[in-house]
Structures are given as C-alpha cells and as structure tokens.
Chains A and B, each alone.
Chain A
C-alpha cells in the first residue's frame, strides 16, 4: 500500500476559526512532512517529523501548529489564519533518511 490519505479535501475557514488538517499513512514510514503550495508554484516545505519528533520547522508562523500523535498520523492545527495562507496543503511520508517521498492528495484551504 503506497497511499497517503488527507482529510478534508477542501476547507473554508474564517480568520478567527480553529481547524485541523489530518494525514495518515500505513506504509511503515517514520518520517512525515507538511508542505504548502501556492498556485503555479512548487511545494514549499513547512515541517518534518522523524520518529514522531519535530526535526525541521522552516520558520513557519505559530498560527500553524503540527502534531504527530503516532507513527501513522500527522495533524496540522490552524488558528487565526490570514487570507494569504490560502493554499494547497500537502502531506508526505518516507523512510527516515530522505528516501523516496509519497504524497497525499492535499487539502485545498481557503481563508476568508
């Protein structure tokens, strides 16, 4: 099974809302990633978890809060977002050591 799943597919939220994005994989991977992608741009790395511990935070604003409750799950908690945070949010997983990454279908987020 080489599938990474993400929920929800689409999310519309106001600037005062709190919401969460969810990512799940059952490939036995111990590295998981969050990326942000704006229109007509490549994905940009946000966070990396390795063995359920945060190993890279690419200077992401604190209104984005990642969480890795276990080796299969990755969450991204959102609070007080801005309209410019509207984007496609992609989750990926791999074996530790930056091996081949597999991406989920993404959550398309709109902040009003």
Chain B
C-alpha cells in the first residue's frame, strides 16, 4: 500500500519562529489533508490540498502531486500551535479512504 512519511517527527520552536513540515507519499493521490490534533485529541482540518498552494492566516500549504510531496508552513508560531500535525492521503488506486502519516509533534515554547 501507499507509504506516507512525515518529517521531522518532533520539533521544538521558540514562540515567533517559522517552520516547515514535510509529507512525502509513495504513490499518486486523489486527496491530501493536513490536520492539527490538539492536546485534547480533536483533529482540526487545516487544509484539503490535493495539489497547488493554499493559505489560511499564518498557515500555508503546498502540494506538488507530480513529485509526491506536500509542505505545511507555520509562520510566527504561537504556543497554541503545539500538538501533532498529521498529513493524510487518499491513494488513486485501491479502496482506502484515508492513510495517515505518523505525524510531526510540535512544541512551541514561550
């Protein structure tokens, strides 16, 4: 099946710093989503981005489907950005709804 790899696995930032999270996938995809899981377990939709670039406030994402990767940019990080960021894809082939990467655990310290 499709492999989804996220890097880095862990990241510690000072408040105000910028960061880039990466998601590589091993096969072509129909759908790609970025989620933020807060400390209470809620999975929050950040972007639905099978290709192209989107921005939402301090966050932006770019997916280059032909090269099988996506990037999530966080600018001017805040302590509330802490949590786990998941990339999840729907592969073109097969009948798998959503395959998650292992996540990037982000800690933003004041």
Contacts and interface: CB of A to CB of B under 8 A. Distances in A.
Contact of B42 (A33, A98, A101, A105): A105
Contact of A98 (B30, B100, B103): B30
Contacts of A33: 97-98
B106 to A, nearest CB: 14
Contacts of B102: 41-42
Nearest to A101: B98
Most buried by A among B41, B95, B96: B41
Interface size class of B (residues with CB under 8 A): 20 to 34
A42 B98 CA distance: 11
Contact of A101 (B41, B95, B96, B97): B97
B45 interface: yes
A56 B41 contact: no
Contacts of B30: 98
B87 to A, nearest CB: 10
Interface in A10-55: 31, 33, 37, 41-43, 45, 48
Interface in A72-103: 88, 90, 98-103
Contact of B90 (A56, A98, A108): A98
Given A42-B86, A42-B103, A102 B45 contact: yes
Contact of A90 (B43, B101, B103): B43
A43 B41 contact: no
A103 B42 CA distance: 8
Interface of A: 2, 31, 33, 37, 41-43, 45, 48, 56, 88, 90, 98-103, 105-106, 108
- What are the 3 closest A-B residue pairs judged by CB atoms, nearest first? A42-B100, A103-B43, A100-B48
